[in-house]
Amino acid sequence: MEFSFTPKEQAFRRELHDYLQSEVPEWFAGIFALPEGEHDKVWEFTTQFARKLAKKGLLIRSWPKEYGGQEATHMEQLILAEEMAYFDEPRGSHYLGANWVGPVIMAFGTEEQKRKHLPAIANAEVLWCQGFSEPNAGSDLASLKTQATVDGDEYIINGQKIWTSYADHAGWCLIGVRTDTAAPKHKGITYLLMDMKTPGITVHPIRSIFGLHFCEVFLDNVRVPTQNTLGERNRGWYVMMQSMEYERGGYIKYARCQRTLDEIVKYVKETSVKGKLLIDDPLIRNKLADMAIGIRAVRALTHHMYWMQSQRLTAGYHPSVVKMASSEFDQNFTNIAMQILGLYGRLSKDSKYTRLKGRIVREYIWSREGTVAGGTSEIQRNVIASGLGLPKE
Amino acid sequence: MDFALTEGQEMLRKSARNFLEKECPKTLVREMERNDKGYSPELWKKIAGLGWMGMALPEKYGGMGGDFLDLVFLLEEMGRALVPGPFISSVVHCGLAILEAGTEEQKLKFLPKLANGEIILALAFTEPSAGYGADDIEITAISDGDDYVINGIKLFVNNAHVADYLLCVTRTGSSASPEDGISLFLVDSTTAGLSTALLETIAEDKQCEVVFKNVRVPKENMLGKLDEGWPLVEKIFAYGAVAECAQMVGGAQKVLEMTIQYASERVQFGRPIGSFQAVQHTLANMVPDIDSSRYMTWEAAWRISQNLPHNMEVSVAKAWTSEAYRRVCSSGHQIHGAIGFSLDHDMQLYFRRAKEAELAFGDAGIHKDIITRYIDQSPLA
C-alpha cells in the first residue's frame, strides 16, 4: 500500500504545474458555461494551446508512442488530468479525445482506424464530439432511433442528435445509430466514426445557461463508409458503455474545486466585513473545512479508480460511483462557495463589484450539468444497484 | 500509488474475519452489553494467542513486528464484528503511546504483558469539559517527594473499570500556552483514592467516570517528559481517531451487506423490496460513503505508519467517516423498517455504535476546526 507519488511523478507534477502557471493567461477560466461573446477568443486560445501542449508531450501521457503518447504511467495521466483541471482545462475540448474517445478507439478500433485517428487526437489536430442523446432518447439511450441503412459499402444515416457537446467545433463524431430495427433495442445499435464535414450534417448550437456548449445535430442522408464501424455492427451498445465507463471514471472535477478553494481561501484571508476578516468567522471556517473534506473524499474514490485501471482490474460499478459522488459533491461545493460570497455571489464576471472575477457564479451554474450529462445520477445509482446484485423487478 | 494489500495483510484480514465470525457471534455482543465487565476473558485469551494485541509492537517486546496500518486492517474486522472489550483502549491508546514515548524500562515492564493479554490499560484523557484540547485538561498532578499526586475527574474513559493501569493526561504546569505543562502518567488502578463508576451509554460500551482523590503515582511512571507531554497526546489522538475510523469502515461494510440481504429477501407488494428503485438508490448511496471512508482511513493510517505529516489526513478521515457511517446506518435502518428497531435484530447494534464512534476522538465539528488550521495544504501537491 502506498499513497504517495514517486519522485519522478512528483517532479512531473511540479514541472507541469509551473509550466501551466506561466503559460495559461489569467483571463482564461475554461470553456464551460462561456458567456456567448467570449466563445471565439477562448476557443482560439485552447486550439493553439492544445497544439503547444501536444508538441511538448503534455496533451496525452499514457498512450503508446506509436499512437502519439508518451507511454507514461496511469499515475502520470492522473497527475496531468488533475493539473489541467486545476488550471481550468486549457486543453479545451481536447480532453474528450484524450480521456475517452481515444481510449475507446484504442480498445475497439481496427489498426487502420487507430493509425488514422489516434495520432491526430494526440497532436491536437482534431476535435471530437459524441453523438449519443436524441430528443426521445436520453436516459433511455438504447431506444435511440437515428437510423443507418446499408447501401453497398456505406451507411446512409438519417435522424437527429441533441445535447451534443462541441459539435459545432468538432472535426469528427463518434455516433450511435440504429442498424437493426427488428432486434431488441440494445442489440441493434452500431457505433460509427463520422466525419463532421460529410454532406447532410447540420449543427445548431443550443443557447442554454451553459452558453453554447450543447448542440443539435441533424443528419439528412449522411453517407458514412461501413469501414468506419467501431467494433462490430449491431454490437455498438457495448462499445458505447465502455466509452461511458472511461468518461465516468475519469471525472476529475475535484481538482478544479481545489483551485476554487485556493482562491476562496485567499479571498477570505484578505476580505474584511465590519472590521473583521472573513477567515476569522467560525461559520466561514466551517464551510472551508466542508469544502476541503469533500475534495479529499472524492479524490480518494478517483485515485482508487485510476489505480484499478492501472492494474487492469474490472471496473464494475466503480466509474458510476466516481461520477455520481463527484458531480453531486461539485454541486454542494459550488453552493457553499456561493454562500461564502453572500450577496456578491450573484454578480457575473463583468459586473461592477464582482468578486473573484465572477468565477463562483459560473462554477455554480455549470455544476448543474454534472448530475445529468454522462448518465444522470439516477442512472448511475441503477448501475450501482445492479452491481450490488439487487433483485430486478 | 498502490491500493493493494500485501499477501500477509490479506491473510490477516481473512483469518480475522473467519475467527470473529465463529468466536464473536452477536449473542456474545449482546451478552457483553448487559455484562458489567464488558468483555469475555475467554475471547480475550484467544485474541492474545493470535498475537493481535502485539500486532504493531516489535518482536523484542513480544509483538508481531507489524505496523499501525496492519493493525487498522484488523480493526476493520473488529468493527465489522462489533468486538466488545478493551482492545483499542489497551493496544492502541496506551500500547502505542508506551512504544512511542516510554523508557526502555517502561517498555519492558508493560509491552510484553500487554502483548500477551496479561494486562489491560485504558486512556484517561477527557474531562467534564468534553473536549480534546490542551485547555480541556484541568486535572492536576503535583510533585511530592518521589511521587506525583493527582486530583481531579476524568470522564468518558473507556474500560477504566477493568484496566490494570490508566494512562492519565494531567496538568503539571501552566503558562500562557495550554499545550505547555501537560504530563502523562501510568497509574496503577488499585492505587488508593482512585474510584471508577460505569456510565450507561447508547452503545453500552463501558465508558467510566474516574475520580482521582490524592492518587499517588511514582515519578518513574511518568510517560515522556515533564510538562512536554502534549505532542504525545496529539499522537495518541491521531491513533485513536484512525482506529475509530477503521472500526466504522468495517461496521459500515457489514451494514451494507446486511441491508442488501434484507432487501433481497423481504417481500412486499409481491416482490422483494430491493427491486424497488427507491430502495436500490438508497443502497447505492451507501457505496461512495463507505469506499471513500475506507480509502481515506487507509491513507491516514499509512501516513502515520510512514512517520509522514498526517494531521490533515487524520482529521479529514475522522470528520468524513463519522458522518458517513451515521448516514449508512440511517439508510440501513430505513430499509429494514420496524424490524431493525428490535433488540433481537443486528441493525440497531451498528446504529448505536456508530454514534459512539462518531463522538470518540473528535466528531466532525472538532475535526473541522483542526482542518481549517491546515486549509492551505493542497491534496494536489
Is B349's pLDDT higher than 80?
yes
Answer whether B284 sits within 8 Å of A324, measured CB to CB: yes
**Catalytic residue of the set A89, A245, A247, A363:** A247
Q: State how far the Cα of B277 lies from the Cα of B283, in Å rounded to an integer.
A: 10
Chain B residue with Cα closest to A12? B381
Chain B residue with Cα closest to A383? B284
Chain B residue with Cα closest to A294? B320
Q: Per 3-state DSSP, what percentage of chain A is helix, strand, and coil (rounded to 5)? A: 55, 15, 30
* % of chain A surpassing 90 pLDDT: 84
Chain B residue with Cα closest to A13? B381
Is A46's pLDDT higher than 80?
yes
Q: Are residues A135 and A106 in the same domain?
A: no
Position B261 confidence tier, pLDDT thresholds 50, 70, 90: very high
Q: What is the pLDDT of residues B216-240, one digit of tens each?
A: 999 999 999 999 999 999 999 999 9
Mean pLDDT of A217-229: 98
DSSP state of A100: I
Answer whether A390 sits within 8 Å of B280, measured CB to CB: yes
Q: Are residues A382 and A260 in the same domain?
A: yes
Residue A143: which CATH number? 2.40.110.10
Position B381 confidence tier, pLDDT thresholds 50, 70, 90: confident
Name beta bridge partners: A205.
Answer: A215
Q: Which of B290, B294, B305 is nearest to B258 (CA)?
A: B290
Mean pLDDT of B318-337: 98
Residue A361: which CATH number? 1.20.140.10
Write the CB contacts of A213 (distance below 8 Å, at least 6 apart in sequence). A31, A32, A33, A34, A165, A166
Q: Which residues of A touch B263 (CB under 8 A)?
A: 390-391
Q: What is the mean pLDDT of chain B?
A: 97
Position A350 confidence tier, pLDDT thresholds 50, 70, 90: confident
Q: Are residues A145 and A60 in the same domain?
A: no
Write the CB contacts of B184 (distance below 8 Å, at least 6 apart in sequence). B97, B101, B167, B168, B169, B170, B222, B223, B224, B229, B232, B233
Rounded to 10 deg, the angle between the A282-310 and A253-270 helix axes is: 160
Q: Is B333 in contact with B350 (CB distance < 8 Å)? A: no
pLDDT for res A137:
96
Is A306's pLDDT higher than 80?
yes
**Domain edge (last residue) among A200, A235, A270:** A235
pLDDT for res A38:
86
- Distance (Å) from the C-alpha of residue A316 to the closest C-alpha of chain B? 13
Answer whether B380 sits within 8 Å of A306, measured CB to CB: no
Interface test with B, best of A1, A10, A327, A336 (most B CBs within 10 A): A1
Determine the structural domain holding residue A62 and report its residue range. Answer: 7-126
Alpha helical stretches, state H, chain A: 7-23, 39-55, 74-86, 94-96, 102-108, 111-122, 236-249, 253-270, 282-310, 318-341, 359-370, 377-387
Task: Classify residue A392: in a domain, yes or no.
Answer: no
Q: Which residues of A touch B281 (CB under 8 A)?
A: 378, 381-382, 385
Q: Are residues A285 and A312 in the same domain?
A: yes
pLDDT for res A37:
82
The grid coordinates listed for B63 are 509483538
Q: Are residues A111 and A182 in the same domain?
A: no
The yes/no answer on whether domain B7-119 falls in CATH 1.10.10.10 is no
Q: What is the mean pLDDT of chain A?
A: 94
Residue A12: which CATH number? 1.10.540.10
Q: What is the pLDDT of residues A103-129, one digit of tens each?
A: 999 999 999 999 999 999 999 999 999
Lowest mean pLDDT among A24-38, A189-203, A288-302, B133-147: A24-38
pLDDT for res B269:
95
Number of domains in chain A: 3
Predicted TM-score of the model (pTM): 0.95
- Distance (Å) from the C-alpha of residue B274 to the closest C-alpha of chain A? 6
What residues of chain A, 243 to 262, have a C-beta less than 8 Å from chain B?
Answer: 255, 258, 262
Answer whether A307 sits within 8 Å of B274, measured CB to CB: no
**Positive or negative: CA dihedral A11, A17, A22, A23:** positive
**Domain edge (last residue) among A188, A211, A235:** A235
Answer whether A300 sits within 8 Å of B295, measured CB to CB: yes
Position B2 confidence tier, pLDDT thresholds 50, 70, 90: very high
Q: Which residues of A touch B363 (CB under 8 A)?
A: none
**Domain edge (last residue) among A208, A235, A262:** A235
Q: Which residues of A touch B2 (CB under 8 A)?
A: 1-2, 307
Q: What is the pLDDT of residues A262-283, one digit of tens each?
A: 999 999 999 999 999 999 999 9
pLDDT for res A314:
87
Mean pLDDT of A139-153: 97
Lowest mean pLDDT among A235-244, B79-88, B317-326: A235-244
- Distance (Å) from the C-alpha of residue A374 to the closest C-alpha of chain B? 18
The grid coordinates listed for B181 are 505543562
At B187, which helix (H) or strand (E)? strand B182-188
Answer whether B260 sits within 8 Å of A388, measured CB to CB: yes
- Distance (Å) from the C-alpha of residue B261 to the closest C-alpha of chain A? 9
- Identical fold for domains B123-227 and B231-373, yes or no, is no
Q: Are residues A278 and A322 in the same domain?
A: yes
Is A62's pLDDT higher than 90?
no
Q: Are residues A83 and A155 in the same domain?
A: no
A-B CB pairs within 8 A amount to 144
Q: Which residues of B touch A388 (CB under 8 A)?
A: 256, 260, 283-284, 287
Highest mean pLDDT among A82-96, A246-260, B237-251: B237-251
- Distance (Å) from the C-alpha of residue B248 to the closest C-alpha of chain A? 16
What residues of chain A, 50 to 89, have a C-beta less than 8 Å from chain B?
Answer: 75, 78, 82-83, 86
Q: Are residues A291 and A204 in the same domain?
A: no
Closest residue to A384, CB basis, from B4, B287, B320: B287
Q: State how far the Cα of A233 lies from the Cα of A180, in Å rounded to an integer.
A: 9
Q: Looking at the domain covering B123-227, what would its CATH class be?
A: mainly beta
Is A36's pLDDT higher than 80?
no
Interface test with B, best of A82, A139, A380, A388 (most B CBs within 10 A): A388
Task: Classify residue A245: in a domain, yes or no.
Answer: no
What residues of chain A, 344 to 373, have a C-beta less than 8 Å from chain B?
Answer: none
Q: Which of A169, A171, A145 is nearest to A157 (CA)?
A: A145
Position B189 confidence tier, pLDDT thresholds 50, 70, 90: very high
Position B356 confidence tier, pLDDT thresholds 50, 70, 90: very high
Q: State how far the Cα of B248 lies from the Cα of B240, in Å rounded to an integer.
A: 12
pLDDT for res A247:
87
* % of chain B surpassing 90 pLDDT: 100
Task: Classify residue A242: in a domain, yes or no.
Answer: no
Is A201's pLDDT higher than 80?
yes
Q: Are residues A358 and A286 in the same domain?
A: yes
Identity (one letter) of the amino acid at A203? Answer: V
Could you give the angle at the alpha carbon of B95 between the alpha carbons of B91 and B99, nearest 5°?
145
pLDDT for res A256:
96
Per-domain residue ranges of chain B:
7-119, 123-227, 231-373
Closest residue to A385, CB basis, from B281, B367, B375: B281
Task: Classify residue A1: in a domain, yes or no.
Answer: no
More confident residue, A32 or A285: A285
Task: Classify residue A243: in a domain, yes or no.
Answer: no
Task: Classify residue A2: in a domain, yes or no.
Answer: no
Q: Would you tell me which CATH number, out of the four given (3.40.50.150, 1.20.140.10, 1.20.1630.10, 1.10.10.10), belongs to the domain B231-373?
A: 1.20.140.10
User: Is A247 known to be catalytic?
Assistant: yes
pLDDT for res B4:
97
Task: Classify residue A36: in a domain, yes or no.
Answer: yes
Q: State how far the Cα of A375 lies from the Cα of A361, in Å rounded to an integer.
A: 24
Q: Is A209 on the interface with B (CB under 8 A)?
A: no
